[in-house]
Structure 1
């Protein structure tokens, strides 16, 4: 693939990964808000069984989504380097 063909592909890949990263960051923030609301508004006496599991899962998912966004940021940096080198 020539440089003329590579550059548009790298540009497109970078645009897509940047959009996915933004979407992941928004999702992580929304999960954080949901988790906070559950912690603040759900009385301790109601935090049993499946409810405790759901709260814990929400927190775990928030961390995973945030980690994915951070890893995607590294991919974006690599794509940006490749784009500059092309």
Structure 2
């Protein structure tokens, strides 16, 4: 029994580990998307003539793009919190598994 606990602790394919990895990957993708949106906003803001930027439709599109950038960044920040919580849970499980593995057999 002791051997199984140690073996399962070393398996990175467990759902908790997978969830931590996936949230980290999604957060990274959101960070990239937010940066790309920010770059797009900056380029459009500097490239478009003022008369075009003041046009109703273009102004709404620029504002909407900025709002989307903020939402994407907020989602990335929230995923960081989830990733941190998952990391805490992984650490706690590993601690408990080590504790169980070190106990003498009953």
TM-score (norm 2): 0.74
Counterpart check, 1:84 vs 2:104: no
Report the Cα distance in structure 1 between the residues aligned to 2:33 and 2:15, rounded to whole angstroms.
Answer: 27
- Output one character per residue of 1:20-55: Cα deviation in whole Å (capped at 9) or x when no partner: 000000000000000000100000101211100010
Aligned to 2:26: 20
* Aligned length in residues: 83
Aligned to 2:43: 37
Q: Structure 1: which 5+ runs fail to align?
A: none
- Output one character per residue of 1:35-86: Cα deviation in whole Å (capped at 9) or x when no partner: 0001000001012111000100111111110011011000000000011111
Aligned to 2:63: 56
Indicate the RMSD between aligned Cα atoms, in angstroms: 1.6
Report the Cα distance in structure 1 between the residues aligned to 2:18 and 2:63, rounded to whole angstroms.
Answer: 37
Q: Structure 2: which 5+ runs fail to align?
A: 94-106
